[in-house]
Structure 1
Amino acid sequence: MPTVLLLTLSNLFMTTAWYWHLKAGSTKPLWVVILISWTIALVEYSLAVPANRIGYANGWSAGQLKIVQEAIALIIFGGFMSWVLGEPVTWRHLAAFGCIMGAVGFLFVGK
């Protein structure tokens, strides 16, 4: 559970680092946006690295860690896209998410 929690927190920061500037920073110079994003990303790395080490030490494979991270990233990005950027979540988004969740299931079956 610490792995999933840390991956969730890291994805909150990374999604913010990658996409906050599309609205909030659109008037800032690019170098300022990059500096701010890298600062936010530092927090993300500080959470993602321990998450992966803990998960791997507890028997998760690298593939399992990556696919769980992707599934978490899609959940967080869907919320960010909708709430922060004001874009609708469509059936295509949900279908793509369903495919990723299927991949998670395949990697954890029999584990």
Structure 2
Amino acid sequence: MTFPTTVSHLLPIALLAVSNVFMTAAWYGHLKFPHAPLWTVVLIGWGLAFVEYCFAVPANRIGHVVYSAAELKTIQEVLTLLVFVGFSVVYLKEPLSWAHAAGFVLILAGATLIFWAGS
């Protein structure tokens, strides 16, 4: 399956963003329900992870046409941080400290290096 160049570059990013929303919900959403039985949150997490895979696998398949595997992983990690920050602050109501922000900036610097050096 081939796509126009712009779609080939942007569609994987959009799909990875959606997949990260589901995976973040699967991994951290249950923290607001500490009294729910563990087996229940595991099963719900598996269901969310299945939906996440339905977006992540096509994102990587489509994206590998224009991005290397390392670049796709880097995009995924940056999106994970962005989604997690929003999820943590908005849903979990947990503030981020200056140390979190500084650490995330360093990770973004590493991501920038991967794309800059790969050019």
| Superposition TM-score tier, normalisation by shorter sequence | over 0.9
In 1, the alpha carbon distance for the partners of 2:51 and 2:109 equals 30
Q: Deviations over 1:12-66 (max 9, x none)?
A: 000000011101x3222111110011001100000000111111112x1111111
Q: Deviations over 1:56-87 (max 9, x none)?
A: 112x1111111111111001101111111111
In 2, the alpha carbon distance for the partners of 1:102 and 1:3 equals 21
Instruction: Look up the match of 1:12.
Output: 21
1:42-53 counterparts in 2 under 5 A?
A: 42-53=50-61
Instruction: Look up the match of 1:86.
Output: 93
Instruction: Look up the match of 1:36.
Output: 44
1:89-108 counterparts in 2 under 5 A?
A: 89-108=96-115
In 2, the alpha carbon distance for the partners of 1:26 and 1:20 equals 10
1:54-65 counterparts in 2 under 5 A?
A: 54-58=62-66, 60-65=67-72
**Matched residue SS, 2:103:** helix
Percent identity reads 48
Residue 19 of structure 1 aligns to which amino acid in structure 2? Y
- How much is the aligned-residue C-alpha RMSD, in angstroms? 1.0
In 2, the alpha carbon distance for the partners of 1:92 and 1:66 equals 24
Q: Which runs of 5+ in 1 are unaligned?
A: none
Q: 1:2 aligns with which of 4, 11, 15?
A: 11
**Matched residue SS, 1:57:** coil
Instruction: Look up the match of 1:67.
Output: 74
Q: Which runs of at least 4 in structure 1 moved beyond 3 Å after TM superposition?
A: none
Residue 53 of structure 1 aligns to which amino acid in structure 2? R
How many pairs align? 109
Q: Which runs of 5+ in 2 are unaligned?
A: 1-9
In 2, the alpha carbon distance for the partners of 1:67 and 1:93 equals 19
